[in-house]
Amino acid sequence: MKEIITQVFIELKKFMGLTIHYKFKTETDSHMKAYKLIDKLHQVALTLPWVQVNPIRELNQTQLDNTDATDPLFFLKISAAKILITEGEIQKISPTAFIGWTAHVAEGCESLKIFLCRYPGSQVWEAQSFCKTQYAALQESGGILNFLRAHTSIILLLDEVQKLGILEEVVDESHYWEHRDLKKLIEEIKAWQGLTDSVGEIFEQISRNSLFNDYNK
């Protein structure tokens, strides 16, 4: 049964589109220390060429338990739940405390959620989430250059998470996290999107885009 559930998740990820999955885990139970970590990442995000970086939010258990679908934070609260697969069963564990922020990275890119939570039975602040970047490559969203800016800048932020010592895992379905090869990333998104632009044409677009070059120095 566990193997079947795992395969279902793999197929669902394909359906979702190219996505970056990530897990954070601290060694602290301190609310203040967790806030400082989130604030440091927030400050980094403000330097990136994103559409909007929203303020940091702190939510207690009472606020988190209120999951009214009309609440503007509804999807953020739902996404903060920790998913565990144990003995063939999927468990959803709701947090008791939340510190985090969201960002509109680029048109077509899913909202990026950066947060830390406390969960029942855990003594530390941690998190798991994901961000789908594939549809930033749609022409109506800005095309492949828009995707490249979105995807690589999220990876840059995850580099900062790693420097803080709280990055537990990254699963980048494009594998850019591992190889950091822009050419391979272009080939990957071309395959996912069925694009026909040559890599040379795309690199020419990149060379003419000062914003892209500035933050990738």
Residues 100/115, Cβ–Cβ less than 8 Å: yes
Residues 109/135, Cβ–Cβ less than 8 Å: yes
DSSP string, the chain: -HHHHHHHHHHHHHHH-SEEEEEEE-S---HHHHHHHHHHHHHHHTTS--SEEPPPEEEEHHHHH---TTSTTHHHHHHTSEEEEETTEEEEE--SEEEEEEEE-STTSPPEEEEEEE-TT-SS-EEEEEEE-GGGGSTTTTHHHHHHHHHHHHHHHHHHHHHTT-EEEEEETT-HHHH--HHHHHHHHHHHHT----HHHHHHHHHT-HHHHHHT-
What are the extents of the domains in the chain? 20-215
Tell me the CA distances in angstroms from 138 to 51, 103, 194, one per residue in order: 17, 19, 11
How distant is the alpha carbon of residue 13 from its chain centre? 14
Q: What is the CA radius of gyration of the chain?
A: 18
Residue 140: predicted pLDDT: 95
Residue 69: predicted pLDDT: 84
Cα separation, 153 vs 163, whole angstroms: 15
pLDDT tens for the 217 residues of the chain, in order = 445 444 444 444 445 689 999 999 999 999 999 999 999 999 999 999 999 999 999 999 999 998 888 888 999 999 999 988 877 788 889 999 999 999 999 999 999 999 999 999 899 999 999 999 999 999 999 999 999 999 999 999 999 999 999 999 999 999 999 999 999 999 999 988 875 555 566 656 666 665 566 656 5
